[in-house]
Amino acid sequence: MCNIRGTHYLGYAVTLTETNYTQTVVILTPIRNAEKSLETFQTQIMNLSYPHNLISVFFGEYGSTDKTFAKALNISQDLKRFGSFRDSRVINLQMSGGIYGSDDFRHKVLGYQKYRRSHLEAVRNRLVRYALQNGAFDQVLWIDSDVEEFPTDLVR
Ligand SMILES: Nc1nc2c(ncn2[C@@H]2O[C@H](COP(=O)(O)OP(=O)(O)O)[C@@H](O)[C@H]2O)c(=O)[nH]1
Ligand SMILES: [Mg+2]
């Protein structure tokens, strides 16, 4: 077992030592037609072990043809009300474009990938610009709504 900057390593198991956290974090999540993955996403965010009063969660939506915006709005209210998160908002990004279709279609058609990726990066950039203009954060973390599982100590 060794100790590297307060973190104990034993084989592949990592145990974080208790720390008095002070840094504020904003989680940025672009969403479009993400209705189906939002519930799992909410559960995972709620389960984060980092102090919720230091975490803000901003969703950046545009162009959904399902109930993504309304659902994200409910989640943002729940995060504040029941999860004691510092802040949570759903931002209307006003950015049309991107590639629509099934996961398979969007991810596999080679000719679309450069355009699809550059659109997504522009979306992420607009979201971070909004966040930095509307709050003061020590750390920024992008997590996509379709990441089905992440460790509860991800932010720590
Ligand atoms: N606002 C916005 N979000 C998008 C758009 N396309 C995808 N997203 C969201 O961005 C995240 C990543 O999209 P995804 O298609 O899974 O991309 P990939 O996994 O990086 O190939 C997900 O949370 C999507 O809901 C878009 O055009 N606008
Ligand atoms: Mg994805």
Which domains are delineated in the chain?
Answer: 21-142 (3.90.550.10)
42 closest CA partner among 13, 1, 14, 82: 82
The structure's pTM equals: 0.89
Hey, whose CA ends up nearest to atom 26 of ligand 1?
32
Hey, whose CA ends up nearest to atom 12 of ligand 1?
144
Q: Tokens representing 105?
A: 């279609």
Per-residue pLDDT reduced to its tens digit, 136-147: 999 999 999 999
Q: Is the pLDDT of residue 23 over 90?
A: yes
Distance CA 106, CA 99 (A): 6
Secondary structure of residue 33 in the 3-state scheme: coil
Q: Residue 4 has what pLDDT?
A: 46
CB 73 within 8 A of CB 67: no
Tell me the ligand closest to 117's alpha carbon.
1
39 closest CA partner among 85, 81, 71, 62: 71
User: What are the two backbone dihedrals, phi and then psi, of residue 9, each rounded to the nearest 5 degrees?
Assistant: -110, 125
Tell me the ligand closest to 105's alpha carbon.
1
Tell me the ligand closest to 29's alpha carbon.
1
With a pLDDT cut of 70, the percent of the chain lying above it is: 92
User: Identity (one letter) of the amino acid at 138?
Assistant: D
Secondary structure of residue 70 in the 3-state scheme: helix
Compute, in angstroms, the gap from residue 120 CA to the centroid of ligand 1: 6
Secondary structure of residue 94 in the 3-state scheme: coil
What DSSP assignment string belongs to 127-155? Answer: HHHHHHHS---SEEEE--TT-----TTS-
Q: Which residues form the pocket of ligand 1, taking CB atoms under 6 Å from any ligand atom?
A: 29-32, 34, 60-63, 93, 98, 106-107, 119-120, 123, 144-146
Which atom in ligand 1 lies closest to the alpha carbon of residue 68?
A: 25
Residues 91-115 have a mean pLDDT of: 85
Secondary structure of residue 110 in the 3-state scheme: helix
